[in-house]
Amino acid sequence: MKRLFVGLTAVLMTLGASAQRHTECLNFGWEFRLNNEGQWRKINVPHDFQIEQPWVAPAADEKADNTDVAANIKSRLSSRGFKEMAKGYYRYHLTPSADMKGRRVLLDFEGIMYTADVLLNGQLVGGTNYGYVGFEIDLSDRLRYGEDNLIEVIADTREPGNSRWYTGGGLFRNVSLVTTPRDLYFERHPLYITTCDNRYVSISAEFTNRTNKATHVALEILDPDGQTAYCDTVAIKRHRGTRRQEARIATDIAIPNPKIWDLDTPYLYTAKAKLLRDDGTVADETSDQFGIRTIEFGPDFGFKLNGRKVLLKGYANHHTLGALGAAAYPKAIEKRILLMKQFGMNHIRTSHNPYSRDFIRLCDKHGILLVDELYDKWTRQHTGGKVPFEQLWQYDVPEWIKRDRNSPSVVLWSLGNELQQDPNQPFNDFGVTMYKLQKTLLQRYDSTRLVTVAMHPRYRNWDTDSLPHDLAIQTDIQAYNYRYMYFPGDGRRFPWMKFYQSEAAVASMGPNFFEMDLDKVIGLAYWGAIDYLGESQGWPAKGWAQGVFDISLDPKPKAYLMKSFFKPEEPVVHIAVVDSKGNQMWNGVQTGNDGLSDHWDRKPGSRLQLITYTNADEVELLVNGKSLGRKQNQKENARLCNQIRWDDVLYQPGRVEAVAYSGGKEVARHRVESSGKMVKLVATPDNNQWKADGSDLQHVRITAVDSKGRRVYNAQQQLTFSVEGDARIVAVTNGDINSDELNCVNHRCLYNGSAMVILRAGQKGGKVVLKTACPGFKTVVTSLTSNP
């Protein structure tokens, strides 16, 4: 392998030796170039090199969409977001101090997309064959201490057909350097914390002891307020013939006055463990958060959290973050989670791969219930393409489970998705044997959760469609994509089955919720509730466009239908105008969503169809103050529940208003007005506690408004952004999935009167000024502060 060092100024990092564990963030100061060509440029992690590439339109002999997979005539890049696949070359100069010699030095990657090789001083030292799963490399005996060392990462997304969606590429998650003693240390993800009866806590720890002496572990548990809830020191004998040990350091500890982790009160405890030498000094230490809660699944009630029935109400999306691509920014993740909670969601399925550890932690923090998924299909093609699947799972399963098993948000493990679509599964039995093998290994590391695989909507039992697939009979939970209508019949034949609609179509939103027996099912996850790159249903769309939130996270009208039944305690009414009818189909499922909008700027004299989404008893519709009557919410009709249609409404400029009533009293109101001409732009930042940590984000929404402050939906002017201070632009977006504009630039056109610029903070802090220029209008100056 050709060494890439070309004499640039070394990035000096001196890490002083420590008697205990030391973790150094290596996210800052990398250099990058694409396909090993051109000049090196400085970048910081997280970084997605695919999002920076130009769009590639389908060739003349390619189909422009992602629908005819079986005929193999789809566009080469429609599933991958119309971005060309490539290799990303990264390098980092590291100078470890001489006094680090003799310590254990680990290079830790939380993930590299999609496959990767890692080199140290020109020599291959490790890598990944499935970039969604983290790994570490022991550099202890390979580093040149007190000298410059060159770390190189070569990330590759080029393997043909190795994903069905946009994956991103490169160092898309955190990188760290970890040092510990060599003779006595905790292993990777060492703590296993379990709780029972919402009071008792048990903890095991995995460590290596090369000292030939017994050791002690000092354990402290901190409550959510940071106060000590428990502390003790446990003596651990050294096992003969083995240096690596797993020992129980706490058994059924009774936590006084426990604070229970729940959806609205996601209390988190912290377990801190220290490995002590025989003289009492600390050799190594580790910690992890956990929640005290109980979960239970059953055929008669679906799912219980802390003893009460809870319905999983959520979505299933890919891991990417809109205009940011795959780069796993915690603030962008948190923004999504908080928005989903605002609309009544309590659940996310991590389809079809492990999300970042920051994502899991944020779900712990905000009370989200997770179905944590490892793979798509169990084939080489669908798991990176570099090596056969049979060479992956033995390593991926332990890493995945040990990383996430202490998180209270994770309530169910999922090993795969729609395996029946591909007959080339290991052992030629459509996944039954491979499921059993993986589940056996999984339960070695966590026995507190059930295990499932999501079933394909088209393929049932090969002998008769009246029976579930053989794999569905083996899984702990019967997870069906879209086919909730099979639940009653399969439940009668197999009364022990526990049903979860692991993907639900947004196009059928409402019926696919109300037609289930909500008292018995586990819940559902709406597929693609947020628009995303990849899996385009036709150029020029760069991705999935059937969600209820656009790719910039602006809610579409149908988001309020979802809110009306996901959050029934909050009165909802929202006006939607039907602009077009959706007709796209996939595997017998209608995925095409009606085109809807919620503005009142139309062609005079046109006749419109309106829908009012509501959870109230009835709605009155008024146009310019004139009532068009009241209509009842047909709550007993699953097809019409919370959706009141108004046909042949004559458009008149002015205003349209929906007033919702329950019990004869007004409970909610939504008013939409015609707008005037655009007179100015308004900038709205979202982060008033912007941290100067080098990674925190500031999303600034730019809106075109008229003289009365109303959003002007037909404004399409181009905006140009500039930044002064310790921050930089990392992405721009406007919600238009059809736009040919790139995301990693400093300009964007308004779409539906709106656009967004995303800023990444530096590490110095201080005043940051964002300027938004638009021809013919006054430049908007937005003053921000990032706090050290």
Mean pLDDT of all residues in 167-175: 98
Can you tell me whether residue 506 is helix, strand or coil?
helix
334 bridge partner residues: none
Write out the two tokens for 87: 């290799």
Whether pLDDT at 37 is above 70: yes
Closest CA to 633 of 668, 608, 601: 668
pTM assigned to the model = 0.95
For 39-87, write each residue's pLDDT tens digit: 999 999 999 999 999 999 998 888 765 554 444 445 789 999 999 999 9
Looking at residue 462, what DSSP letter applies? S
**CA triple 515-520-523, angle to 5 deg:** 70
C-alpha to C-alpha distance for 451 and 366, rounded to whole angstroms: 24
Place of tokens 């220290």: 274
pLDDT at 394: 97
Look at 250 and 65; give whichever has higher pLDDT.
250
Look at 333 and 423; give whichever has higher pLDDT.
333
> Where residue 160 falls among pLDDT bands split at 50, 70, 90?
confident
Question: Quick one: which H or E segment has residue 398?
Answer: helix 393-404
pLDDT at 506: 96
Q: Which of 360-369, 381-390, 456-465 has the lowest mean pLDDT?
A: 456-465
Write out the two tokens for 152: 């190189």
665: which residues sit within 8 A by CB, 6+ positions away?
Answer: none
pLDDT at 67: 52
Q: Are strands 269-276 and 215-222 parallel, antiparallel or unpaired?
A: antiparallel
For 176-225, write each residue's pLDDT tens digit: 999 999 999 999 999 999 999 999 999 999 999 999 888 999 999 999 99
Write out the two tokens for 514: 């109300």
Phi-psi region of 102 (alpha: psi -120 to 50; beta: other; left: phi over 0): left
C-alpha to C-alpha distance for 62 and 75, rounded to whole angstroms: 5
pLDDT at 11: 33
Strand segments (E) across 522-642: 523-527, 532-533, 543-544, 573-580, 585-586, 589-590, 595-597, 607-614, 618-623, 626-632
Mean pLDDT of all residues in 538-552: 95
For 549-567, write each residue's pLDDT tens digit: 999 999 999 999 999 999 9
Mean pLDDT of all residues in 386-400: 96
Mean pLDDT of all residues in 579-583: 82
Can you tell me whether residue 278 is helix, strand or coil?
coil
pLDDT at 582: 75
Whether pLDDT at 642 is above 80: yes
For 263-296, write each residue's pLDDT tens digit: 999 999 999 999 999 999 999 999 999 999 999 9
Q: Write the single-letter amino acid at 692.
A: A
Mean pLDDT of all residues in 746-762: 98
366 bridge partner residues: none
Q: What is the average pLDDT score of the chain?
A: 93
pLDDT at 110: 98
> Where residue 464 falls among pLDDT bands split at 50, 70, 90?
low
Closest CA to 700 of 762, 749, 771: 771
Phi-psi region of 510 (alpha: psi -120 to 50; beta: other; left: phi over 0): left
Whether pLDDT at 242 is above 80: no
pLDDT at 594: 82
For 99-148, write each residue's pLDDT tens digit: 999 999 999 999 999 999 999 999 999 999 999 999 999 999 999 999 99
CA 346 to chain centre: 14
Cβ 479 vs Cβ 419: under 8 Å = no
Cβ 497 vs Cβ 476: under 8 Å = no
Whether pLDDT at 17 is above 70: no
Q: Which of 237-251, 688-702, 753-767 has the lowest mean pLDDT?
A: 237-251
Cβ 523 vs Cβ 609: under 8 Å = no
C-alpha to C-alpha distance for 668 and 633, rounded to whole angstroms: 14
How deeply is 29 buried, as exposed, middle or buried, from its count of CB atoms within 10 A (0-12, 13-18, 19+)?
middle
Question: Quick one: which H or E segment has residue 470?
Answer: helix 470-474
Cβ 357 vs Cβ 172: under 8 Å = no
pLDDT at 73: 47
Mean pLDDT of all residues in 712-740: 98
Q: Which of 92-96, 244-248, 369-373, 422-426 has the lowest mean pLDDT?
A: 422-426
Whether pLDDT at 660 is above 50: yes
Render 239-254 in DSSP notation, one character per residue. PTT-SEEEEEEEEEEE
Mean pLDDT of all residues in 696-724: 98
First to last CA, the chain: 41
pLDDT at 3: 31
C-alpha to C-alpha distance for 316 and 337, rounded to whole angstroms: 12
pLDDT at 74: 59
Closest CA to 165 of 155, 157, 154: 157
Closest CA to 355 of 383, 393, 328, 325: 328
Mean pLDDT of all residues in 562-582: 95
